[in-house]
Amino acid sequence: MRFIFKINIYIYIYKIQMETFNNYSEEQIQKILQNYKNKRDRENKYYHDVTKNSEDFKIKNRQRAKAHYETVGKDMKKASYQKNKELLSAKALYNYYKRNEKIDVFKEKHQSKYILLLESTIIN
């Protein structure tokens, strides 16, 4: 959140400079920036203290999230899983052998999966 806030301030400064072409004094620019910062702080505080805790907001937010998951999220998760399917199965197999304290057997039987895990830095 802070990072975005800092970027917004820099964008705001740039816009002021471009629009005014140095028509404002340094004090006026500082006042404008301070007003902007105070406004952002007020909005942030209002969101965290009032808006976020209201039942109406929670219901609407859940509906929005559910609609997003049903339209886009399922496909994104499926694509992500298909992309990482081999890595996930290798990791699960490694964890099985690790639980049973047979990592040496895993290295011998499943060399390609072991190399894949080493390359992906899941194991050292």
Mean pLDDT computed over every residue of the chain: 86
Measured distance CA(69)–CA(32) in Å, rounded: 41
Residues 71 and 92 in one domain: no
Within a domain: residue 48? no
Within a domain: residue 58? yes
Within a domain: residue 68? yes
Residues 87-103 pLDDT 10s: 999 999 999 999 999 99
Q: Provide the number of structural domains found in the chain.
A: 2
Residues 99 and 115 in one domain: yes
Confidence of residue 20 (pLDDT cuts 50, 70, 90): low
pLDDT of residue 66: 94
Within a domain: residue 40? no
Domain limits for position 110: 85-119
pLDDT of residue 123: 77
Side chain identity, residue 105: V
pLDDT of residue 79: 87
Residues 44-64 pLDDT 10s: 999 999 999 999 999 999 999
Measured distance CA(61)–CA(42) in Å, rounded: 22
